[in-house]
Amino acid sequence: MRSWWWLLLVGVTLAASAAAEGRRVGDPGVSQPPGTAADGVPTPTRDRRQTAASATWFDVDERRDPTWDPGPLPRWIEHHSLPRDTIEAVALRYGVSARDLRRWNGMSPRGRLHPSRPEPLRVRARRLPPPRERLIHIAREGDTWDLLGRRYGVFDRHLQAWNKDQIGWTLEPGERVSVWIEPMIHDAARNEGPAAGRAALIPAGAHSLGTPQSGRLVAGVQVPPGEGYERRYPNSTWGTTFAVRHLVLTLDEFRQTSGYLGTLMLGSMSFRRGGRIGPHVSHQAGRDIDIRLPVRAGFPASQPATHKHLDWDATWKLILAFARSGAVQVIFLDYAVQRELVHRARRNGVSEPQLRELFQFPAGRHANRGLVRHSPGHEGHIHVRYACGPFEPTCGD
């Protein structure tokens, strides 16, 4: 079942009111140009022409900020870049490809923006979030770039780049710090209501910058300890507010309803600031989490799960719990394990339409079908990828 409270989850945690912390001074952000009208496995595509009547019961609601009306799209706009903007990030922001963005602006196939000299970009936007706004923060005793970045929901290295010419690399009390905020992130945090259950304890403000395979995590929040699961690598269990809140809700639901008495082992999610983590290709933006499949009683917690040690009933219920959350984009699981789950589900009377919506099997390892998709190396664990939160304009796939 869907929980609609998460539509306002992602935002920035402010230590005080906007009046105390700073004030917006405004910037148009975009304008109309003159004369113009799994690890190693890409995220599966979905047919955006799908109607409400044909949507599956586990589809992610991808609506963005309902209070913002971008007007008719696509249309040509001019993007005013900031230091540390990249072609890839700008492309994600407007729902276009980096290749097209370079072509529209006469850049080479590998062309980059200058890291410190902003320049305008011509974009035929397919998506148009509210323009960024400049807020002035008066530095206080004890302020650091990291602290301000987490407070306002911006990457601390970007914050430094925006201010180094005016105030240098260190902060002193009384200095005026320019903070370019994303209004949909900033305002959602200030206006959102409390989440349900333990998820209400997860701070707002954590969001993705970029893709799971090449991204960062801004103001990351950590998966908290809980009954029924163990964090194997606590230092790499950070994620977005959207992902962590939904993860906690799903784990609690599974514990309460599945009858499974064992302990789920949580693997890596992301580092606090995201980026490359060990051998993983993804797990870079706080949206991916590895979870060992439930095992039978007595199997050592430290050992990788094998087919003969799996609790198949609990595995089915775990996948079903993630599917019903309405927040998961894809689950990676070995094709042979999918086969066994589907056969067992059929014997238990699960309908064929539901199995077709849920699993890639038996359509083939490369079929663009099902929430659960094959990926090599996922025989004993699932890799759950959460969708971008509804207020994450720089998150993408």
- Using the predicted structure, report yes or no on whether residue 242 has a pLDDT greater than 50: yes
Give the tokens for residue 271: 């580092």
The C-alpha angle 53, 56, 61, rounded to 5 degrees, equals 90
Q: What is the mean pLDDT of residues 64-92?
A: 85
Q: Which pLDDT score is estimated for 299?
A: 83
Q: Which pLDDT score is estimated for 208?
A: 92
Please tell me the distance from the alpha carbon of residue 355 to that of residue 56, in angstroms, as a whole number: 11
Q: What is the dihedral of CA 233, 234, 240, 244, to 10 degrees?
A: 90
Domain 193-386 has CATH 3.40.50.1100: no
For the ranges 1-5, 55-59, 386-390, the lowest mean pLDDT is seen at 1-5
Please tell me the distance from the alpha carbon of residue 361 to that of residue 312, in angstroms, as a whole number: 16
- Looking at the chain, the whole-number percentage of residues with pLDDT higher than 70 is 81
Q: Which pLDDT score is estimated for 5?
A: 32
Q: What is the mean pLDDT of residues 199-211?
A: 88
Please give the distance of CA 149 from its chain centroid, rounded to a whole number.
Answer: 18
Q: Note the pLDDT tens digit of each residue in 341-386.
A: 999 999 999 999 999 999 999 999 999 999 999 999 999 999 999 9
How far CA 370 is from CA of 59, 206, 335, 358, 374, in Å, comes to 11, 28, 12, 5, 10
Q: What is the mean pLDDT of residues 189-206?
A: 76
**β partners of residue 238:** 222
Q: What is the mean pLDDT of residues 325-333?
A: 95
Angle at which helices 335-347 and 312-324 pack, to 10 degrees?
100
Q: What is the largest CA-CA distance in the chain?
A: 71
Q: Which pLDDT score is estimated for 58?
A: 53
Q: Which pLDDT score is estimated for 107?
A: 95
Q: Which pLDDT score is estimated for 59?
A: 53
Q: Note the pLDDT tens digit of each residue in 294-308.
A: 999 888 767 777 788
Q: Note the pLDDT tens digit of each residue in 82-141.
A: 998 999 999 999 999 999 999 999 999 999 998 888 889 999 999 998 899 999 999 999
Between 189 and 72, the higher pLDDT residue: 72
For the ranges 12-26, 170-184, 244-258, 337-351, the lowest mean pLDDT is seen at 12-26
**β partners of residue 287:** none
Give the tokens for residue 201: 């304890």
- Where are the chain's structural domains? 69-128, 193-386
- Using the predicted structure, report yes or no on whether residue 177 has a pLDDT greater than 80: yes
Q: What is the dihedral of CA 363, 364, 369, 374, to 10 degrees?
A: 140
Phi, psi of 182 (to 5 degrees): -90, 115
